[in-house]
Amino acid sequence: MWRVNLPTGQSWTEPGAYRVASGVHRIPLPLPTDGLRAVNVYLIESDAGLTCIDGGWAIPESRKRFEQALRSVGHHPRDITSFLVTHVHRDHYSQAISLRNEFGRAVVALGERERPALQSVLDADGSTEFVDRLRRCGAPALARQWAGIRMEGGRDPRKWDWPDRWFSGDFTMEVGGRTLRAVHTPGHTEGHYVFADLEAGLLFSGDHVLPTITPSVGFTAGLTAAAERRPLADFLGSLAKVRQLPDLKVLPAHGGTEQRSHERVDELMTHHDVRLGLCLQVLDAGPATAADVAADLRWTRHQHRLKDLDPFNAGLAVMETALHLYLLEARGHLERSTLDGVEVYRLATEVDGSDVRVEHDGRELGCIR
């Protein structure tokens, strides 16, 4: 099961422990949903013990695969001394907690700004936050469907519990013989971190920089009304921060390890520029809600329409559109008014719709800033 390279054509999700650099293995673990298919845990070996970047989703199949993969490189889950968790989402965090609680050994560390999101999961208070957001976006039908989606509660203390240590700010730490630079990269979640090993040229990028999909932004509970408007601006700022690091090999939480950080960060920034331009183009036709704009855009690589997405993904799409509109408003391109609790946007009076250019040429290329 220990392979240096994936044979061509083999999926990145195939079980195993794959050596990606000296002393570093990628271990893909299964998820119970089919959307992302798997999550990568990165194992860093040192004389001082085993460190994992992320922990996987605490389900029995993942626990089994993790143990098998670790055995194939001569280790056991009880040997893990620390989990550096990129963010609080359950596919990254919950198994770090369950393994810590099972063996009572590993120290789990997480970004401090995940505290409100984690608190809201632990409270399992049946938060209606997303339902309210969707209503404000002008998507009452989706809001009703989301009200029926059971958000995972924190009642199971084997999977949901506090970390042992909080990260705050940017800092460097020693992990075995290597130095990791921990960089706070809010956007995907408020307390997201990436870890850069500059000497080895590696970027443990979590969900901040993913190779084939654009990470969702701001999908966490527990945000204040002000924080709710900020995630896209934060995300773009975090991309700029990572772009300032040297060009590194991307070790993402979802996907293979073939990409370089500079190229991928540039692509992600362009993607959002284009989306911002497309939003303006839609609003050039007249005032609209986030749901109206989302219905005019195309979604996923396959250019789906909003109505063809399942309710969960359609809800995410509408909320992401709202983030683009918030950012355009903050930049002075849009004006917002609220009618019966629904937010409606129009082009700011000084914005001339003819300035809005989005070149297509087979693919989306550029737009106004």
Residues at the site binding Zn ion, with contacts judged by CB under 5 A? 91, 207
CB of residue 306 to Zn ion, shortest distance in Å: 23
171-175 and 49-53 beta bridge pairing: unpaired
Select 56 or 163, whichever has its Cβ closest to Zn ion.
56
**Shortest reach from residue 209's CB to Zn ion, in Å:** 12
Q: Are strands 2-3 and 178-184 parallel, antiparallel or unpaired?
A: unpaired
Distance from C-alpha of 277 to C-alpha of 23, rounded to nearest angstrom: 44
| Smallest distance, Zn ion to C-beta of residue 189, A | 10
Both structure tokens of 271: 């993607």
Question: Residue 354 gets which letter from DSSP?
Answer: G
CA–CA dist 182, 195 (Å, integer): 5
If the CB atoms of residues 91 and 197 are measured against Zn ion, the closer one turns out to be: 91
Distance CA 308, CA 40 (A): 29
Q: Are 211 and 258 in contact (CB under 8 A)?
A: yes
If the CB atoms of residues 210 and 323 are measured against Zn ion, the closer one turns out to be: 210
Residue 113 tokens, joined: 């700004």
Cβ-based nearer residue to Zn ion, 135 or 184:
184
Q: Which is nearer to Zn ion, 207 or 228 (CB)?
A: 207
- Of 251 and 356, CB closest to Zn ion: 251
Shortest separation between residue 269's beta carbon and Zn ion, angstroms: 20
- Minimum distance from residue 89 beta carbon to Zn ion (Å): 5
Q: Considering the complex, what minimum distance in angstroms separates the CB of residue 163 from Zn ion?
A: 17
Name the minimum Å distance from CB 236 to Zn ion. 19
Whose Cβ is closer to Zn ion: residue 75's or residue 90's?
90
What is the C-alpha to C-alpha distance for residues 203 and 107, in angstroms, rounded to an integer?
Answer: 22
For the chain, list the strands marked E by DSSP: 2-3, 17-21, 24-30, 38-46, 49-53, 80-84, 107-111, 165-167, 171-175, 178-184, 193-197, 202-206, 249-252, 334-339, 342-347
